[in-house]
Chain A
């Protein structure tokens, strides 16, 4: 009985947050998560991948004197005006100096931060697990306004024309006035909305835990169409001309007509494992990464594999970053992979 108890307890260890922050490019450097709760600026001009700075800094603490322990970073860093903005699972939102990695300012929210930030007109917007969307002064971190939804906000807010769109796990997508935080409209789905919305031609695309990718009218919030998959939509969709590409946790990637949601490929592309990472266009190849770390290059026209799958044997849940014909992919554990449009893959070796 004791042996069983030990076994059961070993199986029942607490699920540890690992993080799935994607990389960001700023000038000649890549800002990326290089381990659990660790961020670094990496010189990519230098082929050795030398680390310029690391976060958390050894010599800095929170304003109350406590140690900085980000726990995990899910928030893909956002770079604007030589500042790196990101939130961490410890509930703190950080603004770092891009050149040195020093903390310019930091602000605590009421829960872990999972989504990334959006910035416009000197205001940075970020959602938190406490259900609030925060609008902070990009220079000082001072609170401009906050909007309380009914559940966690894990999606990255989207800004367009003075409106901030936020998807919440309370099953609602909100359109808020970016200046005041006043609600303009909301749409209620049948499941939580963890997916970052995308805007195209007056249509807001958002995926949810009700297995649906929905297209909403951006002016009224009314649903235009909904496409149902075999599992949840958690990816940020990619729109190319009149086609939206979205991966699902059912392991498939769908290509749908933006106008009415009808499938464009004969069959969705089946990767065999959940897809959370957003699809990425590399030149003329659609790059798809699934949770197991299998990367495939598809023809966006018909969904047929051009190359792959390449097996990285790493958990990949983060959104890849594209730079011309090169993709940077962060795997859980801190490995950074470089993939070109022909499927040639290399591990970015970091040096101090």
Chain B
């Protein structure tokens, strides 16, 4: 879902770049609370893994492919602020080194994938975790549900940008239907990869997992009260 230069006009791109820059500044502050000597390297590894897996396009429907976005994965592993930073670094390097995604469109892509997909993931993750029993598999399941929804959410966010400032005149409703439809399919692949990766980290180093640690501390608070 890396937006090339030209899809969206310059004023709209600039406005979203400003929003993205603000969100990154907030995340730099916010990430401090979730990153310590042990979890900061995990955040670096998360960004690295997301870069690698984003190269692995999988087929979804006739003539279409998709790849991991990684927002739900990063959010569950390192928390939403560090997740925003991780995905932003990946997008920045992809645009600068690999010509993947336009530079003028970078703010648009950061907004969709590092902000909308991350915070939608976080909200859904917390919601699903709340209604499930307090186990590791619930964390994995909640990450999967967050992953499925995060991808069409990012796609819908692109359609918002298209509606505001597209350099084309095709109807917004047809773009919305096609984008969300296609990205629900990609979201299923997203969920499979997310469940596998979160499961693997929980199995080896559950103490590092943001979405699991929070669960433990809320349990402690409850038992103390």
Are A and B subunits of one complex? no
* B contacts, CB < 8 Å to A: none
